[in-house]
Chain A
Amino acid sequence: MVRKIPHATKPIVLLLGLLLTWLLLPAVFKSYSRAGFFEFQAPLWVTAAEFKNLGDSWALRAHSKKELYETGRDLARLNSAYELKLQEIDALRDELSRLERILVLPSLPRFQYRIARVVRRDQSSWWQQLVIQKGKLHGIPVGAAVVYSGGVVGRIREVHAYTSVVELATSPGFRMAAHFDNDERPVTYQGAVNLPFSSPRGKVMNVPPDVVVTASVPRRLTSSRLGGVFPDGLTIGWVNRLTTSPDGLFQSGQPYLDKNLLSLKEVAVLIPLGTGGTP
């Protein structure tokens, strides 16, 4: 005779059955269904972002012609300044290539910039990520560096057909090689949990004991080319305090990152030239 399951234990039996079924499902099925669910919702994020862009462009139309004329003039001046800088950079690049040839040095990695709009933000205590509107179809590789005008944004974690997921530099799982301004010795940067109503922060570790920073003279923490993902010298944050570890071998601190990192609208993906990023 089959014994009837008591009402109170029925949900537990059901739960165990469901969990067991889920655990026994093949990994291939889970992987495909994950990709399917992501691709299914991606157009929603892109559409929402397009609507937002449309709203922004309509808001811009409210500006007077005088304002637009003044902005155009300012931009033209800025463009001229950048043109000069580009010429300077070309000259420096030639000089660098010449020195590399003479000294038989391996050449520095070069990158192609691909601009992408942010279509979604997930910034909780558990994870910090962005979804951008460029993916596999635009030649975005997994692991590529993502930057903005203020410096480092993060790294590409996942690439989908026409969207990519960026792990933010503020994410607790993010780590990269870094160094202080005018000090080539490498240190480790890691993301940290952001406290509410405060600037985003990270952690800097393995700092040599002779590095001195004070609250009045904070030091800039920049990206290092070690690891080959980021070019050298991009701003990560500013460190205004370092504490020595109990063994006295290294120091650690909390760099303060740019607040704009949490409200980015557009970023640039750095695609190493020659690895799918061929123009």
Chain B
Amino acid sequence: MNEDRRTLVILAVNGLLYFALNQVNAVLAPLSLHLSLDALYLLFAFLYLKTNQGLLIGFLTALFIDAALPVPFGVHTILYFCTLAALLRMRRELRRDNPRHIVLAAFWSNFFIMLGLSLLVGKGLLAQWDFWLRFCSDLAISQLLLIFLVRWWVDAQRQVLLLWDIDVGSELQQF
């Protein structure tokens, strides 16, 4: 029951992040800037939850995102699964109590997802210089914000779980 509850709580928190991010992007739209912080949806699940819970959260979050976008349904699912698989391979080397490891994991996950999305849905745009210029500006602003946000966001999710008497910090991580 406790396991189900934490999945639901993290899913709800992801929904909130998705909603907030869209509001910020609506404000940034007149400047032709776009924030992509997909790593934030996955990182907590990867660091503190079981593999199957992480995959379920990644799967449902990806479908939620894909539903409103002009991409083939499942593109984010594939990207999130690939990112989680890559993170799982590095799980033994990464320490969740090391802030630098958390930032690095978030940084590379986000970079991978943004690049993957460009390659999968960019199609005819990949040969255009303007596309890559815009991609680099979006990437730069997203990664910069991610570096500042990621630790705070992971801590915030831990605090939210504490409201439901779930202390993931003190639990042993199971693989």
Contacts and interface: CB of A to CB of B under 8 A. Distances in A.
B130 A195 contact: yes
Interface in B67-92: 67-71, 73-74, 77-78, 81-82, 84-86, 88-89, 92
A194 B134 contact: yes
The SS class assigned to the B binding surface is helix
A194 B32 contact: yes
Contacts, number: 131
A103 interface: no
B12 interface: no
Contacts of B74: 22, 30
Contact of B68 (A7, A10, A22, A38): A38
A197 B72 CA distance: 29
B47 to A, nearest CB: 15
Interface string B17-32: 0010011011001111
Given A121-B25, A121-B26, A123-B29, A172 B124 contact: yes
Contacts of A69: none
Contacts of A138: none
Nearest to A34: B73
A19 interface: yes
B135 to A, nearest CB: 5
Interface in A220-279: 259, 262-263
Q: Which bucket holds chain B's interface residue count?
A: 35 or more
B63 A195 contact: no
A48 B23 contact: yes
A127 B130 CA distance: 14
A8 B118 CA distance: 28
Contacts of B36: 124
A41 B64 contact: yes
B128 interface: yes
Given A38-B67, A48-B19, A196-B31, 9 more contacts: A30-B74, A37-B67, A38-B68, A122-B25, A126-B121, A165-B68, A195-B133, A196-B32, A197-B33
Interface of B: 19, 22-23, 25-26, 29-34, 36, 51, 55, 63-64, 66-71, 73-74, 77-78, 81-82, 84-86, 88-89, 92, 117-118, 121-122, 124-125, 128, 130-131, 133-135, 137-138
